[in-house]
Amino acid sequence: MEHIDFSLVDWSRAQFALTALYHWIFVPLTLGLSFIIAIMESIYVKTGNSEWKRITKFWMTLFGINFAIGVATGIILEFEFGTNWSNYSWFVGDIFGAPLAIEGIMAFFMESTFIAIMFFGWNKVSKKVHLLSSWLVAIGSNLSALWILVANGWMQFPAGMQFNPDTARNEMHDFWEVLFSPVAINKFLHTVTSGYVLASIFVIGISAWFILRKREINFSKRSITVAATFGLIASLYLAFTGDGSAKQVAKHQPMKLAAMEGLYHGGTNAPLVAMGILEQTENNKNEEDFIVDLPIPGGLSLLAFGNLNAYVPGIHELVHGDPEHGIISYQEKIDKGKISIDALAAYKNAKKSGSTEEAANQLKTFKDNFNYFGYGYYYGHDPHELIPPVKLSFYAFHIMVGLGTYFILFFIIMLYFTLKNKIQDKAVWLKIAVWTIPLAYIAQEAGWIVAEVGRQPWVIQDLMPTIAAVSKISSSNVVITFFAFLIVFTALLIAEIKIMLTQIKSGPESLTNN
> Could you tell me the pTM of the whole model?
0.92
Strand partners, 464: 460
pLDDT tens for each residue of 409-437: 999 999 999 999 999 999 999 999 999 99
Q: Which amino acid is at 150?
A: V
Q: Mean pLDDT across the stretch 312-326? A: 93
Identify which has the larger pLDDT, 230 or 114.
230
List alpha helices for 48-126, DSSP H: 50-83, 86-102, 109-120
Element spanning 140, H or E: helix 127-156
Q: Answer whether residue 506 shows pLDDT above 50.
A: yes
- The count of C-alpha atoms lying within 13 angstroms of the C-alpha of 409, restricted to the half-sphere facing its C-beta, is 8
Count the neighbouring beta carbons within 10 Å of the beta carbon of residue 143.
18
Residues 12, 344: Cα–Cα separation, whole Å: 27
d(CA 126, CA 132): 10
Average pLDDT value over all residues in the chain: 89
The predicted-structure confidence for 342-389, as pLDDT tens digits, reads as follows: 999 999 999 888 888 899 999 999 999 999 999 999 998 899 999 999
- Whether 280 has a pLDDT exceeding 80, the answer reads no
- 288 — pLDDT class (breaks 50, 70, 90): confident
Instruction: Transcribe 174-238 into DSSP letters.
Output: -HHHHHT-HHHHHHHHHHHHHHHHHHHHHHHHHHHHHHHTT-SHHHHHHHHHHHHHHHHHHHHHH
Whether the pLDDT of residue 487 is over 70: the answer is yes
pLDDT at 2 over 50: no
Q: Kindly state the average pLDDT of the residues 102-116.
A: 76
Write out pLDDT tens, residues 66-88: 887 877 777 787 788 888 888 88
Could you tell me which residues come within 8 angstroms of residue 337 by beta carbon, excluding any fewer than 6 positions away? 369, 372, 373, 374, 375, 376, 377, 378, 379
pLDDT range class, residue 282, cuts 50, 70, 90: low
Determine the pLDDT at residue 165.
87
Q: What is the DSSP string of 346-412?
A: HHHHHHHHT-HHHHHHHHHHHHHTGGGGGGGGGTTS-GGGGS--HHHHHHHHHHHHHHHHHHHHHHH
Q: Comparing 438 with 148, which gets the higher pLDDT?
A: 438
- In terms of average pLDDT, the best of 19-33, 80-94, 276-290 is 19-33
CB 45 within 8 A of CB 131: yes
3-state secondary structure of 41: helix
Using CA atoms, how far apart are residues 404 and 248, in angstroms rounded to an integer?
A: 19
* Separation CA 154–CA 96 (nearest Å): 8
Q: Are 107 and 35 in contact (CB under 8 A)?
A: no
Is the pLDDT reported for residue 103 higher than 70? yes
SS3 54: helix
Summarised one tens digit per residue, pLDDT across range 161-216 is 888 888 888 888 888 888 889 999 999 999 999 999 999 999 999 999 999 999 99
Residues 6 or more apart in contact with residue 276 via CB below 8 angstroms: 262, 290, 291, 292, 293, 294, 295, 394, 398
User: What is residue 327's three-state secondary structure?
Assistant: strand
Neighbouring CB atoms inside 10 A of 1's CB total: 11
| d(C-alpha 224, C-alpha 62), whole Å | 16
Alpha-carbon distance of 38 to 309, in angstroms, equals 46
Q: Which long-range contacts (CB under 8 A, 24 or more apart) does 304-311 make?
A: 304/246, 304/247, 304/249, 304/250, 304/257, 304/270, 305/247, 305/250, 306/247, 308/269, 309/268, 309/269, 310/268, 310/270, 311/266, 311/267, 311/268, 311/270
pLDDT above 50: residue 441: yes
- 514 has a pLDDT exceeding 50: no
Contact 271, 298 (CB under 8 A): yes
In one-letter notation, the amino acid at residue 52 is: W
Torsion of CA 303, 403, 449, 255, to 10 degrees: -20
391 band by pLDDT with thresholds 50, 70 and 90: very high
The predicted model gives 14-23 an average pLDDT of: 90
- Where does the pLDDT of residue 115 fall: very low under 50, low under 70, confident under 90, or very high at 90 and above? confident
- Rounded to 5 degrees, φ, ψ at 38 are -65, -40
Give the pLDDT band (50/70/90) at residue 511.
low
Residue 369 to residue 343: CA distance in whole angstroms: 9
Percent of the chain topping pLDDT 70: 97
Strand partners, 479: none
Per-residue DSSP letters for 402-436?
HHHHHHHHHHHHHHHHHHTT-GGG-HHHHHHHHHH
Does 58 score more than 70 pLDDT? yes
